[in-house]
Amino acid sequence: MCRLSFQVFWIAFLCAWSPFQLGAQDSVKKTVDPSGTWRWEYELEGTQYKDLVRLKLGEDIKDSKDKVVQGKYESTSGKKIAIENGRVSGDTIRFEFKVNFQGMDVKLEFEGTIKNDTLTGKVNASTAEGSRDLDWSATRSVMPEDVVGKWKLRIDANGNIMEPILTVSRDGDKLKASYALGNDVQIQAKEIKIEKNELSFTIETDFEGSKIKADFMGRPYGDKLKGSIDYVLGGDVG
């Protein structure tokens, strides 16, 4: 079994975000990359809510070691709101946005600490009548809606660079995907699934007269994905 590394750059996602660059090394504490989808649940006045925010890392903030964070909050009802004043300093993230709750304008200011795929902190909710702090705990995860769209793969096969396009769609509760390399190679991917926050799929085709099977595995972080490819070419399996 041979293994190749690959990088995937997201080019047409439902939210149509632009690519980002990985955070730079802080001289004291490494800047954490918060890119990805963060989900949390909470109860308010007897109603259970499930909210999320899709984040991506932006450019350096002038005269600061912090970096800009961009993204969109999505409520349980599906309403989307762009975050404001997003920034990450070391492993601490801050952002805010405004909502209207039962006819009242509410400003929500989020601040938390990121450790791997866990984010813990506080939310300050303020209105014209006052403010209060609430506990906040979110988890970064990968769900089918996070991978739907077109991905541009960059595969380095021992110096031979290939840039196929992977198109992922949903058919009910199932994911479908097609793999295209130029106009000559178009293959329907098989066994596409998400397990433990990793996207995986398999393609099978002929290559120069031999059968090739390739298993793709990777972890999406917002609009980027890194992983590996295990492949078997002809009778070569080891």
Residue 215 sits in the same domain as residue 184:
yes
Q: Which residues contact 113 (CB under 8 A, 6 or more apart)?
A: 91, 92, 93, 119, 120, 121
Whether residue 195 is contained in a domain is answered as yes
Same domain (yes/no): 117, 174:
no
Tally of structural domains, the chain: 2
> What one-character DSSP code corresponds to residue 64?
S
89, 107, 141: which is the final residue of a domain? 141
Domain boundaries, position 41: 36-141
Q: Is residue 26 part of a domain?
A: no
The answer to whether the CB of 212 falls within 8 A of the CB of 232 is yes
| Residue 225 burial (C-beta neighbours within 10 Å; 0-12, 13-18, 19+) | buried
Least confident of 13-22, 48-57, 142-151: 13-22
The residue from 141, 174, 202 where one domain ends is 141
pLDDT tier for residue 21 given thresholds of 50, 70 and 90 = very low
Q: Are residues 128 and 158 in the same domain?
A: no
Residues 47 and 133 both lie in one domain: yes
Same domain flag for 123 and 192:
no
Report pLDDT digits (tens) over 62-112. 999 999 999 999 999 899 999 999 999 999 999 999 999 888 999 999 999
Angle at 105 between CA 102 and CA 109, to 5 degrees: 115
CATH number at residue 69: 2.40.128
* pLDDT recorded at residue 161: 84
The mean pLDDT value of the chain amounts to: 85
**Same domain, residue pair 90 and 165:** no
Phi, psi values for residue 223, rounded to 5° = -100, 20
90, 123, 141 - which closes a domain: 141
59-76 per-position pLDDT tens digit: 999 999 999 999 999 999
> What average pLDDT does range 193-214 have in this prediction?
87
- What is residue 3's predicted lDDT score, i.e. its pLDDT? 52
Q: Taking 90 as the threshold, does the pLDDT of residue 33 lie above it? A: yes
In a domain, 50, yes or no: yes
Mean pLDDT is highest, among 8-22, 100-114, 145-159, for: 100-114
